[in-house]
Structure 1
Amino acid sequence: MSSRPDPARTFVAALAVHPVKSLRGVPVEAAHVRPEGLAGDRRWMLVDPAGDTLTARRVPQMLTMRATPRDGGGVLLERDGAAPSRSTSRTRAGTPRSP
C-alpha cells in the first residue's frame, strides 16, 4: 500500500502569495508558476540598517503586516491599526533602484 496521496483527490483549498518575505500573505484566485516560484511571491524583503534580512522569527511583529502589490511596481505596506505606506526599493548601498 502506497503512502503517497492520490493526485485525483488532491485540490487547492486556498492560495496566497507573500510579496514580502515574512509578512502576511495576500489571497489570490490564481497564480502563475515560474521557475523561481509563484509570480509575485517573496520578491521583496525587509532589511535592518546594516542590510541584514529581517524575518518573523526575529521580529514577530512582522506577522501583523501585509504587503499588497501595486500597479506599476512596488508594494503597499499595511500594519494592523496603522496607515498604509508605499514601499521604496533600495540596494544595500542605499541607492534607489527600480523594482
Structure 2
Amino acid sequence: MIEQEIITEEQKLAARYAKAMGHPIRMYILELLTKQACCYSGDLSEILPIAKSTLSQHLKELKDAGLIQGKIEAPKIKYCINRENWKKAKQLFKSHFNI
C-alpha cells in the first residue's frame, strides 16, 4: 500500500520510458529516428548487426513504451519517433532530475 501512496503516475511513466531505453541498441534506434523523419524496418536490419528477430524485439519494446510508432506499408513497417511521447519523456526526465 505504501508504494501506491508515494509513487506518482509521472514516476511510473518515466520508469517505463527509462526501461525501454535501457539497451544500447534501443538508444541507437531512438537517436537514428530523432535525426530523420522515419525509417523502414528493413533498413534498420541492414544497418544493425543483429538478427531480425532481435531487432523486432527492440522495436516492440520501444513501440510498447510509446516512444516510437510503426505503420505497416507492406511488406515493410515504417517506424518514426512518437514526437508527443518523446517530448513528454524529455520533460519527465528534466523535471525528475532537475536538469
* Superposition TM-score tier, normalisation by shorter sequence: under 0.3
Q: Which has the larger radius of gyration?
A: 1
User: TM-score normalised to the size of structure 1?
Assistant: 0.22
Q: Which has the larger share of strand?
A: 1
- Bigger relative contact order, structure 1 or 2 (CA pairs below 8 A, ≥6 apart): 2
